Chain A
């Protein structure tokens, strides 16, 4: 059916997308790579020189660097743990017979549509504020000392906010997967005397494996780049306690005007993302080809 003419046409139709994405991928990245070898500060733009590996060395010896990489990973893993486990639990709960299921679903998925700065500011001010927040009110009600969340547990606070934003996504996808589980299989397992726990481990969980993989893959892409939530809550602090790699690069670039240093950080971020992507794609490839 595919004649040479349709094949040419197909190529022609694909060209704009491929061309745009190719430029989008190559040009800025090549520039980042180029800048990462330059001594280039925006405060002193007339004085640009080749710096070799200086920027990488500088970035590498900065104690903030390792902390930011660690924080990046803690955020990704922490949010994934909460959302995947929470999402499975929520999925199982919403899969039960419930009055008003439609409304419950709408309530549960809503946080996903809240833009990150709103989510972070609402949590920071109205819920977690040590003086006037709801959490502080609850603590005082029980006669406890309110916690200053962003000063004492900055990273955990950010994980909590981001997990709230992504739990609906995980729930929705895992619920969809649960609902496609064959009812007859469940009944057969039940008749064979399998209890709820072993039904979950041997039947439900394997069935959800693909959906769980997809949740992890997609969330990781977004979680590696968490930025706005940090900007409006802790601004990376106290010290560097809640600075992740994107935030450190932003600080170096736009607050420190250090083009070379920020570019070296950018290249490191790309390498990190690629390492993660490599393992993810392998895991996902295994799961998706089924």
Chain B
């Protein structure tokens, strides 16, 4: 089926695709470039060659204590994802391996909870957090993010688990494996890749969540989303520092994202597109 394409056609498509791709990537590229400029360079007009100074990075750490929101982002995103996995794995497991007539309804219902706009429960959640002294508290926010992503985690795991063939279980049983043996030696190794991509994708989603993380924190528990918002005040127009902070905030997730791009499609479309 591989059709031969002339080199000149391929070159034409290549040029077109690269131009479009670079245009789309440009805002990120320019942010990275600006992060290596000094503040005066940053507002001195369009310039793709920075002086290469690291002063913005140093100042983001020394003036704004960048490390703290960074650690908060790590704790919140990883913590909430692991919590969600602990709750979701048994559920997805049972739905995939012993489905009932109601399994599909339960899955649809779970997805429908994602349709509820977050802002609709802003008032009660804010009051609950305030009254329980959970405002600006990492624990409270971790549970919150866990609840937000739980339906997606269940769905993703379900679509992965469903593809583990049931016959393999019967074969193991014929060979005399116990239920425990089945789970540990047969199913778990087959389920690990699905769990890993679910983990990766949900860390990305939790890392970038930008409603509750901004509204329910002030300083102590503020992750990078809230930290970056503090750069939006008009008095603080320091573009080089903004760029350095932004680069640091998106770099880890960008790299994770590149690794997970293959799983991204089936994960985020709940297996509907593969």
Contact = CB atoms under 8 A, between A and B. Distances in A.
B265 interface: yes
B24 A269 contact: no
Interface stretch (A4-12, A57-65, A197-205): A4-12
Interface residues of A, number: 101
Nearest to B46: A137
A108 to B, nearest CB: 5
Interface in A220-237: 221, 224-225, 227-228, 231-233
Interface in B218-274: 224-225, 228-229, 231-232, 237, 239, 242-243, 246, 249-250, 253-254, 256-258, 261, 264-265, 268-269, 272-274
B229 A228 contact: yes
B124 interface: yes
Given A97-B5, A246-B117, A113 B123 contact: no
**Top 9 closest A-B pairs, CB basis?**
A31-B124, A13-B90, A28-B121, A10-B94, A228-B210, A113-B257, A266-B120, A17-B91, A246-B119
Nearest to A276: B115
Interface in A159-173: 164, 167-169, 172-173
Contacts of B100: 2, 7, 10
The residue among B13, B120, B122, B250 with the most chain A CB atoms within 10 A of its own CB is B120
A41 to B, nearest CB: 12
Interface residues of B, number: 90
Interface in B160-209: 204, 207-208
Given A117-B228, A172-B261, A104 B1 contact: no
B204 A113 contact: yes
Q: Chain B CB within 10 Å — which of A111, A121, A281 has the most?
A: A121
Interface string B92-108: 01110110100000100
Interface in A60-116: 90, 93-94, 96-101, 103-116
A21 B5 contact: no
Contact of A113 (B18, B210, B215, B250): B250
Give the dominant DSSP class at B's interface: helix
Question: Majority SS of interface residues in chain A?
Answer: helix
B124 A32 contact: yes
Contacts of A283: none
B98 A90 contact: no
A249 B17 contact: no
Given A107-B25, A218-B268, A269-B117, A259 B254 contact: no
18 contacts: A10-B94, A29-B116, A31-B121, A35-B124, A93-B20, A96-B10, A97-B13, A125-B239, A184-B1, A211-B269, A225-B118, A225-B211, A228-B211, A232-B232, A245-B119, A266-B121, A267-B120, A269-B120
Given A118-B246, A249-B120, A274-B115, 6 more contacts: A1-B98, A16-B90, A116-B225, A132-B239, A210-B272, A262-B123
A29 B124 CA distance: 8
Contact of A25 (B3, B11, B116, B242): B116
Interface string A37-63: 000000000000000000000000000
A214 interface: yes
